[in-house]
Amino acid sequence: MSVLEKVIAKMSKRKIDAASDYRAAVIQLADGHEPDADQLAKVLERSSKTPGDLRDAVASLIERRRLRAVLDAKPKAEKRIAEIDAATGKIEAKREAFDQKCDGERAPLDDEHERLQTTVAAAGDAERALYRGCADPQVLNRSEAITNEIEQILAEVQQLQNERHRFSAAAVGENETARNVMSLDGYRVEAAENLKTYAAKCVELDAQIAELEARLPALKEESAKLDARRLEP
């Protein structure tokens, strides 16, 4: 390794270390701890950040944590909503016989349902805010790449399916024509060859489609994991 390469490597490592130290300082302040002022000043200097940058980063992390806390309340709220929906469904079945009694039982459940719906709605807003506000370039770039790859695969699959449909339709037409001219031995031979060609092409296209579609589950799984990372504080 040349001297220049060593210098570049060291500068790159210092840059990464500085970014890591800065992130640690942001987390420490967001947690309510006060780091040593001299050490913090050195971190800001190494990472080329200003106190204003640090203040904004801490505020952003605190807000994202708040949003995540709201989002984390969603599963419990949804579960309870489902339980309440089941309960109110049973109550509705008894409504004709016990009108007054059912109204009394349902009132508090409806109130709770409305409150929980508000919680779920707030969680939805939090989820969208977290998703849109993700600033991790690694996550964003990979997510975009996977989305493009999935779209490309789907487009290729659609193109292959269209092509297969054409060959399949051609085979149907060949069969229909063959039935109308079965007295011509020469044409029967030609039709058989054409059908063999169409069938082979359909098999080939099916294999290509299956190969492309086999790539989708892993891509979608990775995409889902990246989406989950975009919801992290």
Confidence (pLDDT) at 124: 92
3-state SS of the chain is CCHHHHHHHHHHHHHHHHHHHHHHHHHHHHCCCCCCHHHHHHHHHHCCCCHHHHHHHHHHHHHHHHHHHHHHCHHHHHHHHHHHHHHHHHHHHCCCCCHHHHHHHHHHHHHHHHHHHHHHHHHHHHHHHHHHHCCCHHHHHHHHHHHHHHHHHHHHHHHHHHHHHHHHHHHHHHHHHHHHCCCCHHHHHHHHHHHHHHHHHHHHHHHHHHHHHHCHHHHHHHHHHHHHHCCCC
pLDDT per position in the chain (233 positions), as tens?
A: 564 454 444 444 455 556 888 899 899 999 999 888 889 888 888 888 899 999 999 999 999 999 999 999 999 999 999 899 888 888 877 777 777 777 778 888 888 899 999 999 999 998 898 888 888 889 889 999 999 999 999 999 999 999 888 878 777 666 665 555 554 455 555 666 777 787 888 889 999 999 999 999 999 999 999 999 999 88
pLDDT digits (tens, 9 = 90+) for 199-208: 888 889 999 9
